[in-house]
Amino acid sequence: MIGEYVGLTPRDYSIEASTELKQDLSIDASRVFFSNESKIQTNGFKLTVKADKFYSDNVEIYSFLAGAKAPLETDGISGGVVDIKAKVAVGHLRVNLRGQNGGDGLDGKPWDIRAATGGAGRGGAHDCARASVGGIGIGGPLKCWCTRNPDNGGAGAAGVKGRDGSRAGRGGNSGALLVEIQEKTEFVVEPFQTGGLAGVPGKGGPGQLGGLGGPGGDPSSSECSGSSPGPEGKTGDKGIDGANALDGNVESLCISIGQGEGKCQAK
């Protein structure tokens, strides 16, 4: 539960149950209570606390769950800023700012059709005539011969290059933590910061399969030699893998307890 005690003097503000921020939250009150071992997930939004007295009952503030990942082809979100300033603070606070991991790239999509089939070979041709018998001019047995042998089939077209994979998303930066408590008190802050990991780039897709060889030409008769289908076309080259991305950076960390005012400044 998040609540403000508007009618009380001094004005109080409390978070008494685990909560998740949907936008930046700025708290400015005399007393601020984070209680019941609550967990506050910032989702990279800015959390600002300004108070005379700040109380934390073993509360954890964190940006994202471990392993949180951006959508495909998208950079990870930064862990944001947690900025706490108070005159006096009591209790135990854990702050875990991690950048969101970058999204993975997409693999190049395979081709769903082959390259064009080669052309058919030209058919053969033959001729026939009857031989004379005894020179009298009476038709004899039919005799045929090949006038043109058939051509082999044409080669299939070469396949085109595979589609490229897409880039990986960059890891989000850790986020910045600024804690400034003016007076020395019994207050412990456990900070943890890490940049998000880069995503995995997409793999280049396979090259398109070459076209099938065209059929050989029809011999047209037994006197002509046979023909062969054409050779398959060459398969296209593999697509290019997507570009690698960088991991997120670790941002500012400033914890000042009992050193007065103005030691930690938000950027």
The reported pLDDT for the residue numbered 129 is: 82
> Which letter does DSSP use for residue 109 in this model?
P
By the 10 Å C-beta count (0-12 exposed, 13-18 middle, 19+ buried), 265 is classed as exposed
Closest CA to 47 of 29, 23, 30: 23
Among candidates 2, 34, 71, 65, which has minimal Cα distance to 179? 34
Query: How would DSSP label each residue in 51-89?
Result: EEEEEEEEEEEESS-TT-BPPTT-PPPP--EEEEEEEEE
Helix, strand, coil percent content, the chain, rounded in steps of 5: 0, 35, 65
Task: Report the distance separating Cα 263 and Cα 71, nearest Å.
Answer: 38
> DSSP secondary-structure letter at 245?
-
18: pLDDT strictly greater than 50: yes
Query: Above 50 in pLDDT, residue 177?
Result: yes
- Which pLDDT score, from 0 to 100, does residue 189 have? 95
CA distance 228 to 267: 76
Q: Give 187-216 pLDDT, tens digit per residue.
A: 999 999 999 999 999 999 999 999 999 999
CA distance 15 to 29: 13
The C-alpha R_g of the chain, in whole angstroms, comes to: 39
Model confidence, pTM: 0.78
Average pLDDT over residues 179-183: 93
